[in-house]
Amino acid sequence: MILRHVTRNTALPSIIKSDCLDPEFLQREHDRGHISFELNPKTELLTKYFHVIKGWNQDEPFELLFDGEELLQDNYEILHSIEGIKFNKEVDIGWKLRDAKIPYLKEDVDNIEYCFIKGKVQLKYLTEESKRKLSEWADKNI
């Protein structure tokens, strides 16, 4: 099981320094101390257009992949809603892509499955590939 989190590259220095994703620094107030992830990504729709959805520059998004099995083994709880409230993909993704006049397949949006973890998520759970990419980014930028 893979959990994908996309963040801004400007947030990476603080993520690296704290060695975790920390919900204290998230922008979405309604996440209530949770970190959002895409569960077992099936397409690259979000990574390709995340900057549009968030209103960022094209070079700002950075993908972090976490090993969901390791998280579960260490008693992290992977939730499918936040306090009973589910993420509305069509509103939060579909409408923004339509507004930006970006063509997309409805099934690509439908195939996005979000999940959430309450509290901090340590970087030790990154996949080896993500650890390598983050290290390469840090070597060039910090």
Answer for the pair 65, 126: CB distance below 8 angstroms, yes or no.
yes
What confidence score (pLDDT) does residue 103 get? 76
| End-to-end alpha carbon distance in the chain | 31
pLDDT digits (tens, 9 = 90+) for 85-129: 776 666 567 667 777 787 776 777 778 888 999 999 999 999 999
What number is the average pLDDT over the span 39-50?
87
